[in-house]
Amino acid sequence: MLPRPFLFALLLVLTALLSACSVSHAHFVRSSRDAPTDIGKNDGIVVVLSSYTDCSDRLPPYCLEPKESASAESSFERCIGTATRARIPSIVLVRARKFREKVFPGIEFKDSPRSENDILVALSDPAVRTKMEVLGLRYVLVLQVRTQDWSGRLGLAGGEVGIGIGREWDRTSEFKAIVVDIPEARKVGNVVAGEGQLKGGGAFFFLLIIPIPYYIISNVESETCRHFGLALADFLNGKDFFSHSQR
């Protein structure tokens, strides 16, 4: 039997090698425009979460129950705001909670106008539009988010010191915003960003039957959100685009 210090060192080396696996990424951004856009100094935007599904545990259609909430909305708006301000430092992000309190007082998240049609109907009321303009708002961003895992390959490999069992799978996320111009009371276009990550995971079993787990944790939503925020800023500045990259 191997000496205990040697075995411990061998475990550390193999664990380091196994954790050196990489994740491949691919992302895209695209826009569709119905009308011109621009963003002035200190113009405000607000992000309202219209829909959110996360199929990380089960495959569609069983995982499509809505997961949107005020807390999920808050997380997405922080990420989008950080990325957007990297492009437009003067832009003002009005928190969705404040937006609801001032424009739709007494209405909770689940009952508030959050779809494109709901926002446009609300804007047909001059009093509602005035409340939005008092907040300094120029655009409402109706956000839709979908994240999903796709099943992948299962592999088995053996050697002199043990057996490795591994699996690869894809995790994808897509952010879409319908951009509504408040003064014009109309949709001016949409922005979409998507990210895909190929992840790997599994375990290595020594012949001494000591399992060493290894895995790679995906941050696909935060990456998609960052690309989306940058693309959104470009769209508000009047730029149109379609791009795809892989690394």
Q: Domain map of the chain by residue range?
A: 20-241
**Backbone φ, ψ for residue 119 (5° rounding):** -65, -45
How many Cβ atoms sit within 10 Å of the Cβ of residue 21?
15
Provide the CATH number for the domain formed by 20-241 in this structure.
3.40.50
Which pLDDT score is estimated for 11? 44
Six-digit token string for 54: 């996360």
Give CA 103 to chain center in angstroms. 27
pLDDT in tens, the chain (247 residues): 445 544 444 444 444 444 444 455 567 899 999 999 999 988 999 999 999 988 765 555 666 678 889 999 999 999 999 999 999 999 999 999 999 999 999 999 999 999 999 999 999 999 999 999 999 999 999 999 988 875 554 444 444 444 444 444 467 889 999 999 999 999 999 999 998 765 554 444 444 444 444 333 347 788 889 999 999 999 999 998 776 555 5
State the pTM of this model: 0.73
Give CA 175 to chain center in angstroms. 6
- The H-or-E segment that residue 143 falls in is strand 137-150
d(CA 187, CA 136): 18
* Sign of the CA dihedral running 120, 89, 231, 95: negative
Contacts of 39 (CB under 8 A, 6+ apart): 88, 91, 138, 139, 236, 237
User: 233: alpha, beta or left, given left = phi > 0 and alpha = psi -120 to 50?
Assistant: alpha
- Contact, 176 vs 189, CB < 8 A? no
Could you say which DSSP state residue 244 is in? Answer: E
For residue 215, list its beta bridge partners: 201
Write the single-letter amino acid at 91: I
